[in-house]
Amino acid sequence: MPMTMSRARVARRIATAAAVGGGGVGLLGVAAVGVLLTEVRLARRTVGGSSDIPPCADGRYGAAFGHRSDRLPLRLGFLGDSTAAGQGVSRPRQTPGALLASGLAAVAELPVDFRNVALPGARSDDLERQVDLILADERTRPDVCVIMIGANDVTHRMPFAESVRLLSDAVRRLNEAGCEVVVGTCPDMGTIEPVYQPLRWVARRLSRQLAAAQTIGVVESGGRTVSLGDLLGPEFEARPRELFGPDNYHPSAEGYATAAMAVLPTLCAALGLWPEEERPEPARREGILPVEQAAAQAASEGGTEVTASRAPWALLKHRRRRQLPDPESPDRPPVTH
């Protein structure tokens, strides 16, 4: 609990600095970040990292539901970095965007038109360009967008307040264009193998601190967040050969499926499609908390949703998950690309 409260205070300071245009690296300061950068360079030589172009998964999903002529297809947009792009897998259906488009189509019983503008290597300063792309044509503007960003902000020394400001601006612009927004916050950079101390400890703390600050900025800008870091962290550590891809840096197909399964309930809830009510269930350790406390708690427990309640409060949810449909399974609605 003391660590959570400390993270909440630091996250609030970062979010406040972001709101007023301040900078600062956040949790550990310049010296620790210097250690992080040095160790990351060494780790990248060991783990490699893929330069392959991610598979394009854009297209229509759930085409079998097209007979429902009374309703238009839903439109799903994806923005962010290499994780959002699906780098590390070889087939479009293995990317998180394809998995979520298929899941959304199955829940809504409507076709879903999917478009991904994420860029491998992107930091939060690329979000303005990506938002311009996704909103360029009023006829195809998404109903809901998923953003996955933050890892490169940590490893490339972007001041956390600037990172949060840029993400918050992106969420606000999408909201103003009539789009719901779900953000998968910064993943746990301490799970990459082989990564050793002190990088593992530094990277984990920086990742969680940024994730908490991102949550405050996103919620106060009208979006929802799902924490990815701790969700994947223990599973990656326990089963790295299954959940990491061939480059030992990006998730495998199973790793992306794990992340997508956590995001799907929040994605559907943002569109009013999930059966759970928008209220806390105390038996599931849910509650309405000050937004910075909800953000800090979510950063420590993966798969946790945070959404706005009455300011300055936020709703913390642990939504029940469903198995994702396989985009190419014969007993599911067919998918077209």
- 52 falls within a domain: yes
pLDDT digits (tens, 9 = 90+) for 134-145: 999 988 999 999
Strands 313-317, 144-148: pairing is unpaired
Low-confidence winner among 25-29, 207-211, 263-267 (lowest mean pLDDT): 25-29
pLDDT digits (tens, 9 = 90+) for 88-146: 888 999 999 999 999 999 999 999 999 999 999 899 999 999 999 999 998 899 999 99
Structure tokens at 291: 């937004």
Give the angle subtended at the CA of 170 by the CAs of 164 and 142, to the nearest 5°.
145
Structure tokens at 51: 């330069």
Could you give the residue ranges of the DSSP H alpha helices within the chain? 2-19, 29-47, 82-85, 96-108, 127-135, 151-155, 160-176, 199-219, 229-238, 240-243, 253-270, 291-300
pLDDT digits (tens, 9 = 90+) for 210-249: 999 999 999 999 999 999 875 655 555 555 555 455 555 6
Chain mean pLDDT for the chain: 82
Q: What pLDDT was estimated at residue 330? A: 41
Query: Residue range 17-24: average pLDDT?
Result: 68
For position 70, which CATH number holds?
3.40.50.1110
Q: What pLDDT was estimated at residue 301? A: 87
Q: Which residue has the higher pLDDT, 36 or 189?
A: 189
> Is residue 266's pLDDT more than 50?
yes
pLDDT digits (tens, 9 = 90+) for 158-191: 899 999 999 999 999 999 999 999 999 998 776 6
Q: What pLDDT was estimated at residue 198? A: 64
Q: What pLDDT was estimated at residue 237? A: 59
- 332 falls within a domain: no
Cα end-to-end span (Å), the chain: 47
**Please, which pLDDT band fits residue 199 given cuts at 50, 70 and 90?**
low
- 39 falls within a domain: yes
Q: What pLDDT was estimated at residue 132? A: 98
Q: What pLDDT was estimated at residue 262? A: 92
> Is residue 287's pLDDT more than 70?
yes
pLDDT digits (tens, 9 = 90+) for 49-77: 455 788 999 999 998 887 766 788 999 99
Query: Residue range 258-278: average pLDDT?
Result: 93
- Identity (one letter) of the amino acid at 122? A
Give yes or no for a contact between 63 and 334, defined as CB atoms under 8 angstroms apart. yes
Give yes or no for a contact between 232 and 189, defined as CB atoms under 8 angstroms apart. no
- 43 falls within a domain: yes
Structure tokens at 332: 């599911």
- 326 falls within a domain: no
Q: How far apart are CA 287 and CA 160, in angstroms?
A: 27
- 329 falls within a domain: no
- Identity (one letter) of the amino acid at 105? A
Q: What pLDDT was estimated at residue 164? A: 96
Reference 322, options 269, 252, 253; nearest CA is: 269
Q: Which residue has the higher pLDDT, 42 or 59?
A: 59
Domain that holds residue 192: 2-317
> Is residue 319's pLDDT more than 60?
yes
> Could you count the other beta carbons within 10 Å of the beta carbon of residue 318?
17
Q: How far apart are CA 81 and CA 62, in angstroms?
A: 26
- 327 falls within a domain: no
Query: Residue range 319-328: average pLDDT?
Result: 73
> Is residue 31's pLDDT more than 90?
no
Give yes or no for a contact between 71 and 235, defined as CB atoms under 8 angstroms apart. no
> Number of folded domains in the chain?
1
The DSSP output letter for 327 is T
- 330 falls within a domain: no
Cα 123 off chain centre by: 13
Residues 6+ apart with CB under 8 A from 149: 79, 80, 81, 84, 122, 123, 124, 127, 167, 183, 186
